[in-house]
Structure 1
Amino acid sequence: MAAGQPGLVKFLFCLATLSILLAQVNAEKSLSQLKLNSHILQNSIIKEINENPNAGWQAAMNPRFSNFTVGQFKHLLGVKPTPHGELTQVPIKTHPKSLKLPEKFDARTAWSQCSTIGRILDQGHCGSCWAFGAVESLSDRFCIHFGMNISLSVNDLLACCGFMCGAGCNGGYPMFAWRYFMHHGVVTEECYPYFDDIGCSHPGCEPEYPTPKCVRKCVNGNQMWRSSKHYSVSAYRVDSDPYNIMAEIYKNGPVEVSFTVYEDFAHYKSGVYKHVTGDVLGGHAVKLIGWGTTDDGEDYWLIANQWNRSWGDDGYFKIRRGTNECGIEGDVVTGLPSTKNLVRKVVSVDDSGDASL
């Protein structure tokens, strides 16, 4: 018995060590769940941002997320990383450096006749940002290239693209959204709405955030699904050099961009955002509409979000330009509108067509 005691002691020591490790793992799991159930908006984060002279932006308790938990906010961040094998097959667009670009540009004023550019929408509780960024940008480009003020349907893309685009309200791939436009087109918002007269009517506006079912039928019986389709002629990435991104917007209109979101971003109110504090929560897609430089010399991108006007700077935000802040310059996708299926005759453009000012 005495001879076996050292082995027994060693066994009990290992057992105790294992119990401690398991307790630590369980504690981390509990802490993680506790974090997800906590409020996304925190006074401590606002204080840290607003008292930091180098932050460059101001934080606030945005009403949009006053009742959101970290988990609910995280669900809005619906960008899934595009598989590397797929990325290698996507064309990358560059622009000749000979084009002289303005120091400041805002697509809302450059194409003031296009009402869609200045719309701020609301994705509700659905992780549909990947669909919003794509549909909004294509809507703008139909106006810029063809003079058509139309709003295209997020629901069509969200519900009907299926596994090709990802998982609907549980996230998707921005590039595959643009491929859907090429091969299947997208109907108008009037045909298949996400919104009603008082705001968000989509099922994803409810906290359960289900993905809508694809019905392939216009809500207005006088409209035909197939004839309501609008297509793109291309789907491509834009080279991450800020010049190429600016040239693309200047010549062809707003683009869809994705970036990494941290906890502090939920608190953005004004100024030029850069990550200061908080954990990483996911990837978000938005519409990039311009650029500029502050009086203090900070270069920025101007972006329209889809969290309604009660968030941020009337629904918009600025983020640091030229440093790939949160990956904002590394994942820019877009495409050009097609004349296919259009009712009225328009001037045709090919894959290299521009809408230069």
Structure 2
Amino acid sequence: MGAWLYFKYHGVVTQECDPYFDNTGCSHPGCEPTYPTPKCERKCVSRNQLWGESKHYGVGAYRINPDPQDIMAEVYKNGPVEVAFTVYEDFAHYKSGVYKYITGTKIGGHAVKLIGWGTSDDGEDYWLLANQWNRSWGDDGYFKIRRGTNECGIEQSVVAGLPSEKNVFKGITTSDDLLVSSV
């Protein structure tokens, strides 16, 4: 919830301004060597953008009831949500399919972006999530985890926030303007 409150009060810059992924090559927890958190330079990578103008804000943060139907309704209505779950050793080696904890010790907690849901060809319900370790991990940086069973606590801690009107693109005041500007 703290990150969402930071988003509300301080804002965050766009991916184009300050890309998340680095080039350290570390693809999962526990990889060596460990790297210190880099200093925030407060300037955009792209010389065509200004830090202050690239900032976006939220209007608040809220928890979602830990029920799969409520989580799906929130994603359908407002877009991706943040979920936290327990990571075990076998998760670091995920490549494809629907993840289920099988073996290994607990590594720690992790927060990711839940972007959707589905049902596998085998009839197994899953959540679709974006991880941030890097694109060489998992299925191009994404993974599926069992839905409806609270696998690794994935349905227990779900939070979301809404964007502020401060984020409206300059010159676009209605959805019709957005359609015209994209043609």
- TM-score range (shorter-chain normalised) is 0.7 to 0.9
Alignment TM-score, normalising by the size of structure 1: 0.43
Q: CA deviation at 1:209?
A: 1.2
Alignment TM-score, normalising by the size of structure 2: 0.80
Q: CA deviation at 1:272?
A: 1.5
Contact 1:299 1:322 in 2 (8 A): yes
Q: CA deviation at 1:225?
A: 2.6
Matching residue of 2:3: 177
Q: CA deviation at 1:316?
A: 1.9
Mapped to 1, the partners of 2:49 and 2:96 lie a distance apart of 42
Matching residue of 1:211: 37
Q: CA deviation at 1:220?
A: 5.1
Residue 192 to residue 300, structure 1, CA distance change in 2 (3 Å): closer
Matched, 1:332 2:158: yes
Q: CA deviation at 1:347?
A: 4.9
Mapped to 2, the partners of 1:219 and 1:296 lie a distance apart of 44
Mapped to 1, the partners of 2:156 and 2:146 lie a distance apart of 13
Rg larger in structure = 1
Contact 1:339 1:346 in 2 (8 A): no
Q: How many positions carry a matched residue from both structures?
A: 169
Mapped to 2, the partners of 1:279 and 1:215 lie a distance apart of 37
- The structure with more strand, counted as a fraction of residues: 2
Q: Kindly indicate whether structure 1 or structure 2 has the higher relative contact order, using CA contacts under 8 Å at least 6 residues apart.
A: 2
Mapped to 1, the partners of 2:140 and 2:15 lie a distance apart of 23
Mapped to 1, the partners of 2:140 and 2:44 lie a distance apart of 32
Deviations 1:283-325 (A, max 9, x none): 1111111111223322111112223333222322211111111
Residue 293 to residue 189, structure 1, CA distance change in 2 (3 Å): closer
- The structure with more helix, counted as a fraction of residues: 1
Deviations 1:230-280 (A, max 9, x none): 111121111101101000111111111111011111122222211111111
Letter in 1 for 2:165: T
Matching residue of 2:67: 241
Matching residue of 1:259: 85
Matching residue of 2:131: 305
> What secondary structure is seen at the aligned counterpart in 2 of 1:335?
strand
Contact 1:227 1:341 in 2 (8 A): no
Residue 192 to residue 315, structure 1, CA distance change in 2 (3 Å): closer
Mapped to 2, the partners of 1:193 and 1:270 lie a distance apart of 25
Q: Pick one of 111, 117, 122 that aligns with 1:296.
A: 122
> What secondary structure is seen at the aligned counterpart in 1 of 2:123?
coil
Written as runs of structure 1 = structure 2, the 5 A alignment for 1:101-250 is: 175-195=1-21, 200-201=22-23, 207-219=33-45, 223-250=49-76
Letter in 2 for 1:186: V
Contact 1:194 1:201 in 2 (8 A): no
